[in-house]
Structure 1
Amino acid sequence: MTVSRRLVLTGAVAAGLLAACGGPAPDTRPLALVYRGKASTGACSDAVADLLRTRLRVEFCGPEENLPLTAESLAKAAVYAQPGGGSLDDGWRAMRRYADVITSYVRGGGRYLGFCLGGYLAGATPGFSLLPGDTEQYIATSGAEVRSTRDTVIPVDWQGQRRRMYFQDGPDFVLQPGASVTVLARYTNDKIAALVTPYGKGRVGVVGPHPEAPESWYRDLRLTNPDGVTPDLGLQLVDRTLSP
């Protein structure tokens, strides 16, 4: 079929009018890369992406995504986010091949955000060794609010305020003496639940609970958060990690 010159011109004029009338503009905000693959669940990756979209342009990266998890991809990103997922051992088997790429990115000035399993992976045994210390399983610590691995809601002390958060077998963070960190939250037994710390020229923000949890997670499991389901704690973590 031959397309007439008139139709081509009409289409060009329409496109011009759309732009002139305030049509969709490209998102020029800084880029956040969110991992999606065997070391995460789809729900966790989607929840982290939705949280970050309030601040940044978001794309997924991973072995089956349009963007691979490579140094070239990370070089374009303001932050790399590692969501929650399954067990630490399984997660590390999927992620250890990327360890050098991720640590080099953060050391050179990039930002790392780790949620639940992503927090575990920021540690050292096993993990990326991005923290001045390591992680441990919170539910196994003395005085833990919960002992089960099932999904639940727990209280934490977040910046001096008691807040309840979605939780499922997340880590706490064990620091070396004199470590330079900003502690954002502690569990009720005083173990660290969220922190931000420098790593080389970059910065690392990690959290054991799930501040990114959407309303659907609570609804599907018939859980209730008396404080309401709001993104403010997750955004505090994001903002502190991204700050200069």
Structure 2
Amino acid sequence: MHPSTLPNVGQPPATVGRRRLLLGVLPAAAALAGCGSSSADERSDQPPLALVYRGPQGCPDCAPTIADLLRKAPQPFRVTYVGPGTKVPLTADALADARLYVQPGGGSDLDGAWRDLRGSAKIMRDWVREGGSYLGLCFGAYLAGRNPGFDLLPGDTDGYIDLPDTTVHDQRDTVVPVKWRGKQRHMYFQDGPAFLLDKGADADVLATYPNGAAAVVVAPYGKGRVGVSGPHPEADRSWYEEAGLKNPDGVRPDLAHELIDRTVVRH
């Protein structure tokens, strides 16, 4: 079934609203002391900027969770929330200062979310084509596809639960096994997409579902890159606890860090 018709696509269960919200952005770097400092020096010393969409379609914790992970990554980012309801609209000017754009999970209405985003579709494609980096997680990965979506992938998306030989048959939150670069790992999953790549597509499939469908993909788009994941590599311990789930590998951020690292174009 198309995700636009399904409730709770790509978001944790209803109790997710009780999770701790991590709001706001990192403060600007403190001014440097001494006569040799300048505003240009301050800017060059700051971590790169990531824009995280936090429009009305997101679940309460999806954007804060990935924002927190980005701030604490081995190569950390400053984070600013963008989209309707924030102080920063998704525009070419906002993207011009960013290294990474993140479309998080969450949302139950793909068509409704697209109504808020379609005015930025060309802006997004142009920005990625010229060297930007798009990271889409679950619902955000659906939006990297087509009909509707930003059309950033060498192929399209479909719900994993709708594919032949799927190991997940409903929309309940669960833990799904994947083959990540040849090794079995487990990831938090809630009705995320699989990626139907064009034949011969220039794409790096980092992980596959048990039926062989692509679960995590990084692909070039012009001078930029697009990283997408059907499962939630960013899910923290609270997601598992509130859903009553256990990850056999333990709750570890290494897969999210690898996906981010492979997605971001370093300048």
Q: What TM-score bracket applies, with the shorter chain setting the length?
A: 0.7 to 0.9
Q: 1:228 aligns with which of 231, 234, 250?
A: 250
Matched, 1:92 2:114: yes
Retained in 2: the 8 A contact 1:85–1:91?
no
Q: What is the match of residue 4 of structure 1?
A: none
SS across alignment from 2:61: helix
Instruction: State how far apart, in whole Å, the 2-side matches of 1:75 and 1:66 are.
Output: 16
Q: What is the match of residue 47 of structure 1?
A: 65
Q: Which has the higher contact order (CA 8 A, sep 6+)?
A: 2
Q: 1:56 aligns with which of 50, 53, 77?
A: 77
Cα deviation digits, residues 189-227 of structure 1 (max 9, x gap) = 000000100111111000000000011111111111111
Q: CA RMSD in A?
A: 1.9
Q: 1:160 aligns with which of 163, 182, 203?
A: 182
Retained in 2: the 8 A contact 1:91–1:117?
no
Letter in 1 for 2:107: G
Instruction: State how far apart, in whole Å, the 1-side matches of 2:214 and 2:114 are.
Output: 22
Q: What is the match of residue 5 of structure 1?
A: none
Letter in 1 for 2:196: V
| Length-normalised TM-score, structure 2 | 0.80
- CA drift of 1:32 comes to 0.5
- CA drift of 1:93 comes to 2.5
Instruction: State how far apart, in whole Å, the 2-side matches of 1:143 and 1:93 are.
Output: 33
Instruction: State how far apart, in whole Å, the 2-side matches of 1:240 and 1:64 are.
Output: 30
Instruction: State how far apart, in whole Å, the 2-side matches of 1:117 and 1:240 are.
Output: 20
Cα deviation digits, residues 88-141 of structure 1 (max 9, x gap) = 223222322221121111111110000001100000121110001100010010
Instruction: State how far apart, in whole Å, the 1-side matches of 2:180 and 2:259 are.
Output: 11
Instruction: State how far apart, in whole Å, the 2-side matches of 1:120 and 1:190 are.
Output: 19
- CA drift of 1:66 comes to 2.1
Cα deviation digits, residues 160-186 of structure 1 (max 9, x gap) = 111110000000000111110011000
Cα deviation digits, residues 55-86 of structure 1 (max 9, x gap) = 21111111221222110000000010000112
Letter in 1 for 2:63: S
Instruction: State how far apart, in whole Å, the 2-side matches of 1:63 and 1:243 are.
Output: 27
Letter in 2 for 1:141: L
Q: 1:135 aligns with which of 141, 157, 170?
A: 157
Moved over 3 A (4+): none
Q: 2:220 aligns with which of 194, 198, 206?
A: 198
Retained in 2: the 8 A contact 1:39–1:92?
no
| Length-normalised TM-score, structure 1 | 0.87
The total of aligned residue pairs comes to 225
Q: How does 1:5-44 map to 2 (within 5 A)?
A: 28-44=46-62
Q: Which has the larger radius of gyration?
A: 1
Percent of aligned pairs with the same amino acid: 56
Instruction: State how far apart, in whole Å, the 2-side matches of 1:232 and 1:96 are.
Output: 32
Retained in 2: the 8 A contact 1:138–1:172?
yes
Q: What is the match of residue 72 of structure 1?
A: 93
Q: What is the match of residue 209 of structure 2?
A: 187
- CA drift of 1:39 comes to 2.9
Instruction: State how far apart, in whole Å, the 2-side matches of 1:65 and 1:92 are.
Output: 17
- Where structure 1 has 5 or more consecutive residues not aligned to the other structure, the ranges are 1-14
Cα deviation digits, residues 144-164 of structure 1 (max 9, x gap) = 111111111110111111111
Instruction: State how far apart, in whole Å, the 1-side matches of 2:113 and 2:208 are.
Output: 25
Retained in 1: the 8 A contact 2:133–2:263?
yes
Retained in 1: the 8 A contact 2:142–2:193?
yes
